[in-house]
Chains A and B, each alone.
Chain A
Amino acid sequence: MEILDKLINIALIAATLRTTAPILLVALGGSFTTKAGIFNIGLEGQMLAGAFFAVLGSIWTGSAFAGVACGVAAALAFALAFAVLVVTFRANEVVVGLALNILAGGMTISLMKAIFGTRGSIVGHGIVGLPKVQIPGAQALLGSWAPLVSGFTPIVYVAFIAVPLLVLFYNRTRLGLYIRVVGEKPEAAEALGISITRVRYIASLLCGLLAGLAGAHLSLGYITMFTENMSSGRGFMAVAILIFSNGDPLKVLAGCLLFGFADAFSLRLQTFGFPSYLVLTVPYVVALTALFALSYRARPKIIKETLASMQKLLSTDRNSVPADKNPQ
């Protein structure tokens, strides 16, 4: 019991919120493209570019917020490249997404080498981290619960406020509705004179915006440094969450909280002396198991159809009567 108390406490929940924020942001960004019918596997690269350029911007300008703006601009550039290739030139989404991910990985490493002459990570150099927002009166009102609402960097608040905003966006605004229509039934959009190309560009850029924020949070909010490949698969986890949540903001939130909790929990476990490599797999194992369990019942149609047709083949091979041969 004592160990459990040490493991699970308010600090852990606060850490969960902090670790959830980047993946929540990038997944919410991906929700735009998912809803618009684009399978965006390039989230990882956009996030990584965002993280790197946020650090650069922060060093150059000496301002954390200018750094965030730089990160977002870089992610937007990646999103625009993605949209041009996928929407305008109709290139394969997976190929383009993967290519941009590889580009982001390589580009950050070589720029790091060129600018800082180092490999591995950028620490110091006058990076300005994002300030923590202390909500006035939180301490007095909530006492020991205050760390749950106060003391996060601004991007954490943005991430969580974005969830209800996106619910409203998809349900009550024209653009949100059109994004859904374009993704779900492009022929309906076409028949009504909605430009599929324009809607998909907008969705891609909105995605880049949030992915850039997520990246900036990694390097300026989480910890104040950039390391090689620091998005470490969060963009791919976001893709997994998007597939299973179909881009619905509330389901995205649930999936991200689960992942964030496992992430924070694994950090906690490390302090108890578990082997770190094993511990680092925890968030991914937990998230994938949960997602698989959730989606098992709604497993893809193609698997169901394959099973059904195999059954038919087996039964007809024996020259027996098919199952649905009931008299009228």
Chain B
Amino acid sequence: MAVELTGITKRFGAFTANDGIELAVRRGEIHAIIGENGAGKTTLMNILFGLLQPDEGSIRLNGEATVVADPAVAIKAGLGMVHQHFKLVPSLSVADNVFLGMEIRRHGLIDHAAQVARTHELSKRFGLHVDPTERVGLLSVGIEQRIEILKVLVRGARTIILDEPTAVLTPQESRELFQTLRSFVAEGMTVIFISHHLEEVMEVSDTVTVLRNGRKVATRPTSELSKDELVRMMVGREVSFDRRPRAALHGDVVLDVKDLWARDDRRLPAVRGASFSVRAGEVVGIAGVAGNGQTELAEVLSGLRPASHGEAWLKGRDLTTLTPAAIREAGFAHVPGDRMVRGVDRNASIAANTLMGRQHRAPWSRSGVLDWKAIAGNAGALIKSFDIRAQGAADPVKRLSGGNIQKVVLAREFTNGADFLLIDQPTRGVDIGAQEAIHSEIMRQRAAGRAILLISVQLDELAALADRILVMFNGRIMGEVSGDNADEDRIGMMMAGVLPEPVAEPLS
């Protein structure tokens, strides 16, 4: 065994990121660790590499019990980690970057020629095509990743951990990376590969370990698994929420999206021809494994990302031509997927956070001067009605728990009179009690006649709340399922991209 983890538990405050995880990685295999965002994959690998210390559990490297106090210990034991975020120096050459910190020197001066030769030799051996003399600043992300891998190799790694390596790669670059990983294995090295993309896990790995909510679900040989089995293990099949009762009160179409396309940060198409509509008094769910275009879709609708083609009409205005502020003015509320980044200012008070976006409107502001009494009074009322557990409206948001922070966002977004609500991952990282409360609040908004688009990676959440569920895969809407009797197998198949062809005209 190259790596054995036993009973690894890691807590951050009240949140348990890893809960008694067992992991055994055989020497000479490609071992994929798969799970949704927040499943605990990166935490586990940071523990293995000595960047975090586990609260419980033990680690054996190459059969020897080891306390991995810091990365130096891990490197000495032959481990190497390629992080998601690269740490390269743009003005230095490829070879200089590879050897940074362990320069080859002759007569006290750095021997560039020797470094270039060594880099060239390694890159040829493993198919990591780079020009050792080129400046890193001029290179693409894919090549930067190769340099990071070379850095790990020159430090003598025999077990290489890659954290979401394909997240920044084009499909072509991913295929080349997989070839390199296979060449490592061919030389007797071991690869641990973190991903949430089933396709590539199926393609490249020998063994898969599935994590969900900080726990290990299973470790299985890849050849014994099918894609939709894998999806079910990732997203979980046990339904923890009951379907919410509802009255049918569908009104007019509020949001009408027509053939919408958008590119991701790599300039690759991330949303491919999405068409759907949302009616007043309706919850339309969007299901899919994270990273299949849901984030980009939400960003386009809220004005944070340009559309490359298509339209999104909200009450007679095309959102793709408006700024985020104008979109909000048009009657659009947005509960963002990452509340700490887009949802709140963590250092500001609850009162200030409930104000944001409407600070220029009466009664909060008169002749350009804020009326803090009115703002605090309103925040106090919201704290009560949304059951936010806090000491008072002046409390900084960062003191609250995740669930209560989310309630602050909901309180703001649900009370600004918008007709359309875009709700992205409303219960991510939120405890069960708060989840129930948030679901109830969403249903109240539905009953009030709002049109709601609910994006979630949790199938049970969609099954509990949505009237219709659209499934996204690889940027396309694969099909639609009624929420009343959501067929999880069918949804799982579509999430894995298994349906033979995307439905051309999915909706009215």
Chain A residues within 8 Å of B, Cβ to Cβ: 168, 171-174, 177, 180-181, 184-185, 187-188, 191-194, 313, 316, 319-322, 324-328
Contacts and interface: CB of A to CB of B under 8 A. Distances in A.
Contact of A184 (B89, B307, B321): B89
Interface in B92-131: 92, 96, 100-101, 103, 105, 108-110, 112
A194 B101 contact: yes
Contacts of A325: 306-309, 320
B306 A188 contact: no
B299 to A, nearest CB: 15
Contacts of B320: 322, 325
B141 interface: no
B87 A328 contact: no
B103 A177 contact: yes
Given A173-B108, A181-B89, 11 more contacts: A172-B109, A173-B109, A174-B105, A180-B91, A181-B92, A185-B87, A185-B90, A316-B321, A316-B322, A325-B306, A326-B308
A194 B102 CA distance: 11
B204 interface: no
A172 B323 contact: no
Given A181-B100, A188-B100, A324 B308 contact: yes
B322 A177 contact: no
A316 B317 CA distance: 12
A184 B96 CA distance: 14
Query: Lowest 9 A-B CB distances belong to which pairs?
Result: A192-B101, A188-B87, A172-B109, A185-B89, A327-B309, A191-B87, A172-B110, A181-B89, A184-B89
A188 B321 contact: no
A185 B88 contact: yes
Contacts, number: 71
Interface of B: 72, 87-92, 96, 100-101, 103, 105, 108-110, 112, 261, 269, 272, 306-309, 318, 320-323, 326
A322 B100 contact: no
A327 B110 contact: no
A251 B269 CA distance: 42
A319 B321 contact: yes
Contacts of A177: 92, 96, 100, 103, 110
Nearest to B110: A172
B309 A328 contact: yes
A185 B90 CA distance: 8
5 contacts: A172-B112, A180-B89, A184-B91, A185-B87, A187-B87
A67 to B, nearest CB: 33
Contacts of B307: 325
A275 to B, nearest CB: 45
Contacts of B108: 173
Nearest to A176: B110
B89 A188 contact: yes
Nearest to A169: B109
A165 to B, nearest CB: 12
A321 B92 contact: no
A191 B91 CA distance: 17
A326 B89 CA distance: 35
Contact of A328 (B91, B112, B269, B318): B269
A235 to B, nearest CB: 26
A174 B87 contact: no
Given A181-B100, A188-B100, A328-B309, A322 B89 contact: no
Contacts of B261: 327-328
B272 A328 contact: yes
A193 B101 contact: yes
A194 B89 CA distance: 14
- Interface-central residue, B100, B105, B112, by most chain A CB under 10 Å: B100
Contacts of A180: 89, 91-92
A191 B100 CA distance: 10
